[in-house]
Each structure stands twice: as structure tokens, then as C-alpha cells.
Amino acid sequence: MGGIRAMDSVAETNARRPEPGWYGADPTRDELKDDPHDAYRQLRERQPVNLTPQGEWRLSRYADVQELLKHSHGGVRDLNGVIPGETAEASAASRFMLRLDPPDHDRIRNLVNKAFTPRALASIRPAVEPMVEAELDRVTRHGEMDIVADLALAVPAAAMCVMLGVPFDDRHRLARLVSLATYRLAIHAFPHLARECEAAITELAVYMHALIEQRRRRPTDDILGLLVNAEESGDRLSTDELLQQSIGLLIAGLETTIGLIANGMRCFSRHPAQWDRLGANPQLAPLAVDECLRFDPSIPVTRRILWRDTEFGGYVIPANATVFAILIAANRDPQVFSAPDHFDIARREARHCSFGGGIHFCLGSHLARMDAEIAFTAMARRFARVEVDEAAIEWAPSLFRVPGKMPAVLRPRT
Ligand code: HEM
């Protein structure tokens, strides 16, 4: 009897489907960029294992997000090895690690990882800091600035130049090309930018190709130089793989870091007591960066395709389904974070989900944290208050939560 009942309940679980809907969190709504947290709280509370009207699944509880990213049987391609939304040909040609499953992913990630040595990363800070100071001297003279152009973009763009071993003067051109190239990730949503995006990728490829050839002739110890010469058991990246990784790294690292720094400065503008705390305790900067990442992340979701039927919260999600991990909702799950809607730069709790998880965990997390620390500490040393003009914020037409413009008034320390 017990066996039959158990079989019945397995069959019931397999047959159960949540009622499809957006449950307050429709990502196509523009307002969700500016203020997404209430919508994602509703989703987490009303239907934590969510089936969207488009037939995709979304998980918003911390435990489910961690389970999906770290332990489920799945990857970034479907059971036919195709990236959802792309053709088989485009998928076959796509070699950036975030778009590959093992064993290809692991081989490429291991080789790229060899270039992100502690020494190569440590060389970025002393090169970037003086440049940021000089930029701030110049732009803040009149007591106001655009947080995006003058800080959030300036820092990672300078770090990018150090990584590639190119002069700082190239940063504006590079940043423009990388921003345009980023639309490739979801060009179907921005068809009017398709030509500009492809032209930017071609220009970037020509630029990077020349740098790679130079480093083949004369090895350098910048990150690109280490990448060109990275080797494991006689295995190296081919020229096409090198190009795709180096352009992919720029795309993965620029807009995301702009978002971290700009959204973080907005949090500080809204929570002046926490800004005072950082000013008085600069050693809190690393924790403050992580709190900004938790509280207002620039990448709200990441995606996996399940390779076998898998149960989440009493529902069986079928093999080959696309499942989104809602990082932004998991970061405020009250089961894991106390007073999750409270911005507290000294919080020491579970790790937030903003860098994803499992084998695709962000490879640039140290670099992103370092960039944000440089930005926040330079600003906190100079200014007693940074007041963002909320009404004048413009969101970039980006896939991520990245502001395009964020004017602010500055009150210098006396
Ligand atoms: C605040 C800044 C950043 C955020 C929020 C961020 C976030 C993420 C997320 C969510 C993923 C996907 C993880 C997953 O699906 O499990 C990812 C992957 C990745 N990120 Fe970042 N990232 C940032 C900065 C950077 C930087 C600066 C770099 C490098 C220059 C970088 C390089 C990568 C790479 C290479 C991957 C793919 C790793 C793999 O597939 O194995 N990211 N990042």
C-alpha cells in the first residue's frame, strides 16, 4: 500500500505545474530597472518556483538558486549542444567559456585562469589609482559630476587598459567598442543596433588580433600577455579561442563593473549614515563592496538548461527546460539574510549570489571587487556627501542594470 501511495505521489509531483504568470516581476517592464526589488520580493513570496507565460522557469529562493547553479545536472546549452535562442551554426562557433559546457568549458577556463595570477591582478591597483585621482581632480572641481562617465566607467576602463597593456589614452575608444559589442548577448532585443554591434566586434577583433600577435613575438606580463602564453600540458588557446576569450572578458567585465560602482554610489547617496561609516572606517571597503553587490546587483539573473527532470519546491522541471536563477531575489531571501532590505556595509553573512555559482562562477570577481574598492575609497576620502540626482538618472539600453547617466552633487570634506 505504502509503495502504491509513494508511486501516486511521485506521479502527482511529476504532473503538477505552477500556474504560469509573471507574479509582479515582468522583466520587459522598464520600471523594473529602476526599482526591481519589490517586484522580485513578490515573485519569491507568491511563486518561488515560477513558470513564466513564455514557458521558461524562474527560481528566486536562495537555496534553489544555489542548488541550480552548483548541484543540478545541467549546463548552458541544451541536450543538442545548442545555446537557447541561437542557431546550431552560431552555437558551434561560439567559444567564450560562459557559453560552453564541460569538457570544453573546463579546458578553456583553466587556461584563462592562468593569466589571472595574483601578481597580474595586484599590478592593476597601483596603475589605476593615480589615474582615478587625476580624473577626480579634473572632473569634480565644480562640485558636481556624472557618476557613470567620470567614475563608474573610468575605473574599469583604466583597469582594462592595464590588463591589455595598452595606453590609457585608448580607454575611451575601447570602452565605446566594448559597450556596443555587449549587445551581441541579446541582439534580438536590440535589432536597431545590430549593424553597429557587429562593426564594433570586428573593430575589437582587429585591435585585439594585433595585440595578440605582438605578444606572440615579445611576451609581456600583462593579463593579455599571460593569456597568449598560457599553457597546460602542451595545450594552448588557438588564435580564435584567444580572440573570443579576450573580447568575452571585456564584455563580461565592463558594463557589469560600471553597474556595480554606479548602483553602489546610488546606495550610498540614499544611505548617508553608511557613507559616513565608510568614510570613518576605510578598512570596511571590501565588505561594503560585497554589500553593494548583494543589495543592488547589476546582473539580475543567470541561466541554465536542465539535462534531466529535476524537482524544485515540489515541481518537476522537465529536461531541456530553460531555468533562470534570479540572483537579485535570492540576495534578499529572508531565510538567509537578516533584515535583507537593510543596506549594512559591515554585514558578514552568507555569500550573495551576484557572481553566479558552480563552474561558471565569475572569473573576474576579484578584479570587479578591486575596481569598486578603488572607486569607493577615492570618493569617500574626498567627499562628505555624494547626492545623486535621482530624477536625472538615465538607464543605459543595456541587458544589465547599468545606468547610462547619474548626475550627482558633491560636498567636499572640510
Ligand atoms: C560587478 C562586476 C561583475 C559581475 C556582477 C559579474 C557577474 C557574473 C555572473 C553573474 C556570471 C555568470 C555566472 C554563472 O552563470 O554562474 C559571470 C561570469 C563570468 N564573469 Fe563576471 N561579473 C563581473 C565582472 C567581471 C569581470 C571584471 C570579469 C573579467 C574581466 C568577468 C569575467 C567573467 C567570466 C570570464 C565569466 C564566465 C565564467 C565561466 O563561464 O566559467 N566578470 N560574471
Contact 44, 333 (CB under 8 A): yes
All three cell numbers of 290, joined, read 560585497
Residue located nearest, by CA, to atom 12 of ligand 1: 356
Q: Best mutation site among 153, 257, 355, 361 for ligand 1, i.e. most ligand atoms within 8 A of its Cβ?
A: 355
Residues with CB under 6 A from ligand 1: 69, 97-98, 109, 249, 252-253, 256-257, 260, 297-299, 302, 354-358, 360-364, 367-368
CA distance linking residue 138 with residue 149, whole number of Å: 13
Please spell the DSSP secondary structure of 223-277, one letter per residue.
HHHHHHH--BTTB---HHHHHHHHHHHHHHHHHHHHHHHHHHHHHHHH-HHHHHH
Give the residue among 27, 7, 78 at the shortest CA–CA distance from 308. Answer: 78
- pLDDT tens digits for range 334-392: 999 999 999 999 999 879 999 999 999 999 999 999 999 999 999 999 999 999 999 99
Residue located nearest, by CA, to atom 31 of ligand 1: 364
CA distance linking residue 34 with residue 411, whole number of Å: 25
Task: List CB contacts of 368: < 8 A, sequence separation 6 or more.
Answer: 156, 253, 256, 257, 260, 355, 362
Please report the pLDDT score of residue 2 as a whole number. Answer: 45
Ligand 1 centroid distance, CA of 250 (Å):
10
Q: Best mutation site among 362, 367, 398 for ligand 1, i.e. most ligand atoms within 8 A of its Cβ?
A: 362
Ligand 1 centroid distance, CA of 252 (Å):
6
- pLDDT tens digits for range 281-330: 999 999 999 999 999 999 999 999 999 999 999 999 999 999 999 999 99
Specify the amino acid at residue 218.
R
Ligand 1 centroid distance, CA of 329 (Å):
18
Ligand 1 centroid distance, CA of 366 (Å):
10
Q: Give the residues of the chain that fall short of pLDDT 70.
A: 1-14
